[in-house]
A and B are shown apart, each in its own frame.
Chain A
Amino acid sequence: MVRESTLMWIQYITGLGILVLGALHFASLTLLAPGGYPGALEYATVISRYTDPLWAAALEAFLALLSYHVFNGFRVLLLELNQGSGWTKAVNVTMALAAIAAFLYGTRTILVFHLGGAI
């Protein structure tokens, strides 16, 4: 299907992206938060992070990269544990579905603030 080297190349690139966006995520909770870390978790601050389009876009991108990277990582671990054809197929399908599910679930949390409560 897809070459393993392509999957790993994307693993590396998403890893680099996660490093950058992860630093941004931590910064948004500490350095860039009004009132520092304790204030960053206040309702108003959190809402502003979701409603501001730039922050929302950053969170969405972070989520996309993480969904791929985390579940591909789990897939690698699981495939190393067992090599039966049934297990391999099950792992590939489950991890792909889980990645999509995680992405959709997280996207819903972000989109709620932009669709006026439709979902």
Chain B
Amino acid sequence: MSAPASSGSKFPRNMRGVLGGWARVSHANFERWLYLMHRLTGLVVGLYLIAHLAETSDIVPAYLSGDEGIWNNLMQSLYTPEAHAGLLIIAAFAVYHGLNGVRLFLAASGVGVGRPIRPEWPYAPVSLRSFQRSLGWLFIAVTLILTAYAFYELFVVTHFV
């Protein structure tokens, strides 16, 4: 944002960037929070996919050599509360991203964003008061419920808790 005090580049671009733009949470409306979470969850789960493909490919040397131990040892080493906490986060993030993605797809299809109005002061915009907002809250609730179920599977069934 800052520019050296020499002619030609003395007018700063004044762009807020990632922290002040994508991640700006002060005075953020509900949809802006959902957008930020969508980016974060997508990034994390996407990176997890790459790690997951690498991890699951370890079944191949186990199968080819007939040595079950290669696979079972790997699974044993990952059967820890810490690893399961990581998986819980991935599960929660994946569910949120998928559900919010449905809401975004519906919005991009013109569903749930309302119909044009004639603005009257105090000018509450119709798209922020329509069905897509209720859908956002509903999907957050569903995410929490499914995360609770994932917690049950990852921690209760496995007797970590």
Interface of B is mostly: helix
In the complex, the answer to whether B153 meets A109 with C-beta atoms within 8 Å is no
User: Known: A37-B158, A42-B72, A73-B46. Is A105-B57 also a contact (CB below 8 A)?
Assistant: yes
In the complex, the answer to whether A105 meets B59 with C-beta atoms within 8 Å is no
A16 an interface residue at 8 Å Cβ cutoff? yes
Q: Using CB atoms, name the residue of chain B closest to A119.
A: B60
B144 an interface residue at 8 Å Cβ cutoff? no
Stretch at the interface among B1-9, B26-34, B97-105, B112-120: B97-105
Q: Using CB atoms, name the residue of chain B closest to A66.
A: B49
Which of A26, A73, A112 is within 8 Å of B60, CB to CB? A112
Number of interface residues of A (CB under 8 A): 33
In the complex, the answer to whether B46 meets A50 with C-beta atoms within 8 Å is no
Interface of A is mostly: helix
In the complex, the answer to whether A37 meets B153 with C-beta atoms within 8 Å is yes
B75 an interface residue at 8 Å Cβ cutoff? yes
Least Cβ–Cβ distance between A4 and chain B, in angstroms = 13
Residues of B within 8 A of A (CB): 18, 39, 42-43, 45-46, 49-50, 53, 56-57, 59-60, 62-64, 68, 71-72, 75, 79, 91, 94, 98-99, 101-102, 105, 108, 150, 153-154, 157-158
Q: Would you mind naming 19 contact pairs between A and B with Cβ atoms under 8 Å apart? A: A12-B108, A15-B98, A15-B101, A36-B157, A37-B153, A37-B157, A38-B79, A38-B157, A43-B68, A47-B59, A66-B49, A70-B45, A73-B42, A73-B46, A74-B46, A102-B50, A105-B57, A108-B57, A109-B56
